[in-house]
Chains A and B, each alone.
Chain A
């Protein structure tokens, strides 16, 4: 093999070795956990005039606690019916006993109790989860604004209470 070729091969081997070394650096797993809104991405869409499909997409290596998921609607007066959440994976926690978690994702259909045509609503979802690398996030709230199908525009009721009211 000529000198030039040998040099090229060595350079390639060096880079390959660097990549492998870097990939196995244990510190890498610790340093860059996702922010909770990316680890537990919440989205919501209207399935029909009265139903909201709420969805969490959970990144690989992360999990959510089933009993820490709560939904609210703004304005609160519109009202929300939250069904029983799907079953999660059961874990025996040393301190809390039986605990259910979600991985991958979870979808919940929420019923809007008193929708007004053309009204803008906000679906707020609170969740709390952890990463397998060994950190846990405090409860995080994510919000999605939706426009109910238009009829005539009805002005918002004034004086809605500003405090959050969870519907489950």
Chain B
């Protein structure tokens, strides 16, 4: 590689990194994500039975905020079902928090053969997701916890299968 090309590439990389850093910092919520608040949560499942998130302590927990009225949310869920089936035995646990009506959630869960809990969240759940970094209160929003209950990753928008697998592999 000629020194001239090296210089150009160096400038290009420096520029791109600076830009990426700037945007990353701008987007990060000013308050540190409140992991404890989420893990202390108890929400009803589709049968109305309260389910505390604490029961999954020690697992690699993937909490996915979603709704049936959110197309992208529905699209990413089959992959979650697959990952739950394959990696559940290793300690991976998905929990869906639906900002939705229970009957719609039940219907969709049946269609998908959902193999992980679907809890009903309401708009308080959306407010909680805001405290975790979801500034726009949009869906889908996913928070991944390590086995110690620390937040390892948050994602606004669809979580691509390769990204999900790579994050989770490091934590399991």
Instruction: Specify the chain A residue showing the minimal Cβ separation from B7.
Output: A10
A36 to B27, CA, bound (A): 16
Are B72 and A130 interface neighbours, CB within 8 A? yes
A130 to B16, CA, bound (A): 29
Query: B72 to nearest A CB, angstroms?
Result: 4
Are A15 and B72 interface neighbours, CB within 8 A? no
Are B23 and A136 interface neighbours, CB within 8 A? no
Give the chain B neighbours of A11 by CB distance below 8 A.
Answer: 11
A18 to B70, CA, bound (A): 36
Pair count A-B, CB < 8 A: 105
A13 to B15, CA, bound (A): 12
Name B5-53 residues within 8 Å CB distance of A: 7-16, 19-20, 23-24, 26-27
Category for how many chain B residues contact A:
35 or more
Q: Is B147 an interface residue (CB 8 A)?
A: no
Say which residue of B8, B11, B23, B70 sits within 8 Å of A28 (CB atoms). Answer: B23
A25 to B23, CA, bound (A): 11
Are B69 and A136 interface neighbours, CB within 8 A? yes
Which secondary structure characterizes the binding site on chain B?
A: helix
Are A30 and B156 interface neighbours, CB within 8 A? yes
Are B72 and A135 interface neighbours, CB within 8 A? yes
Say which residue of B14, B69, B136, B140 sits within 8 Å of A33 (CB atoms). Answer: B136
Instruction: Specify the chain A residue showing the minimal Cβ separation from B139.
Output: A136
Category for how many chain A residues contact B:
20 to 34
Give the chain B neighbours of A21 by CB distance below 8 A.
Answer: 12-13, 15-16
Name A50-103 residues within 8 Å CB distance of B: 93-96
Say which residue of A6, A30, A36 sits within 8 Å of B136 (CB atoms). Answer: A36
Besides the known contacts A27-B20, A133-B157, 20 further A-B residue pairs in the complex with CB atoms under 8 A apart: A10-B8, A14-B11, A17-B11, A17-B12, A17-B15, A18-B13, A25-B19, A30-B157, A31-B24, A33-B157, A36-B136, A95-B74, A130-B70, A134-B157, A135-B70, A136-B69, A136-B70, A137-B137, A138-B126, A138-B138
Residues of B at the A interface (CB closer than 8 Å) are 4, 7-16, 19-20, 23-24, 26-27, 67-75, 99, 108, 111, 123, 126, 135-140, 156-158
Residues of A at the B interface (CB closer than 8 Å) are 6, 10-11, 13-15, 17-22, 25, 27-28, 30-33, 35-36, 93-96, 128, 130-131, 133-138
| 10 closest Cβ pairs, A-B complex | A18-B15, A14-B11, A17-B12, A136-B70, A134-B72, A21-B16, A135-B138, A22-B19, A134-B158, A18-B12
